[in-house]
Amino acid sequence: MPTLHLQVAGGGALALDIERLIIAGWTGRDMDAVQHHIDELKALGVKPPATVPTFYPLAASLLTTDDVLEVPRDDSSGETEFVLLQGADGLYIGIGSDHTDRKVEAYDVTVSKQMCAKPMGREVWRFDEVADHWDVLEMRCWRVRDGQRSLYQEGKVTRLLDPRNLIQRLTGEAQLPVGTAMFCGTQAVIGELGHGEAFEVELHDPVRNRTLRHAYRVESLAVAE
């Protein structure tokens, strides 16, 4: 069971034992757009989800605040996602990347996600501090490819299900179990989906004028053929 050492914005240090890691997929609010994307991926050989949204349980040890991610080959890529973290004293929100092996994703989504660590930033907000203006928050991701940094994803959280809705769908209750971390869905990719040498993700709150950020480098391991 990993312990994340985090910093609460405007507060102190937070040591959080992570007992359960969930990746929520197919979390768009517009169900017609979700179905269109499912059909697109099906045409590429990706098996459609059994339910929408879908919750993928992964090893809690995959969650990390490191700034270097080691992966096999150049078949993976990151994607910006807000992260819910349930502590004993309340719910926290962070920013992370559901880094996924895209080649493996074509035949097993769960395995493709389990293959890569899930990086997230060390700074978090108390969810209560953004709950009343949640829908104005903005998500972004930049990718570095061939040494060039460019905007890779951008959009408001309104494209995704509200965190309270996701929690209810997962647990049937209004709260996650203590020690649970859940990634909650991503934005559409700008341009070509795929590998990069580095990714930067952020969650911006224009009401409080503050931003959660995390940047990490991707190192491809030498794989014997």
pLDDT in tens, the chain (225 residues): 789 999 999 989 999 999 999 999 999 998 887 887 777 667 767 777 888 899 999 999 999 999 999 998 888 899 999 999 999 999 999 999 999 988 887 778 888 888 899 999 999 999 999 999 999 999 999 999 999 999 999 999 999 999 999 999 999 999 999 999 999 999 989 998 889 999 999 999 999 999 999 999 999 887 766
What is the rounded distance in angstroms from the CA atom of residue 143 to the CA atom of residue 5? Answer: 26
**What does the longest C-alpha to C-alpha distance in the chain come to?**
53
Alpha helices in 25-69 (DSSP H): 31-43
- CB neighbour list of residue 222: distance below 8 Å, 6 or more residues apart: none
Beta strands in 9-129 (DSSP E): 13-17, 20-25, 54-58, 63-64, 68-72, 76-77, 80-87, 90-97, 100-101, 118-119, 123-126
What is the rounded distance in angstroms from the CA atom of residue 214 to the CA atom of residue 211? Answer: 10
Supply the pTM of this predicted model: 0.93
Specify whether the CB–CB gap between 146 and 179 falls below 8 A. no
Closest by CA to 124, choosing from 186, 62, 181, is: 181
Domain range for 201: 3-221
The residue to which tokens 């795929």 are assigned = 194
What CATH number has the domain bearing residue 169? 3.90.850.10
Residue 171 corresponds to which amino acid? Answer: T
Specify whether the CB–CB gap between 201 and 189 falls below 8 A. no
Closest by CA to 129, choosing from 137, 140, 121, is: 137
Total domains present in the chain: 1
Q: How many residues does the chain have?
A: 225
The SS3 assignment for 69 reads strand
Q: Which two tokens stand for residue 142?
A: 């930049």
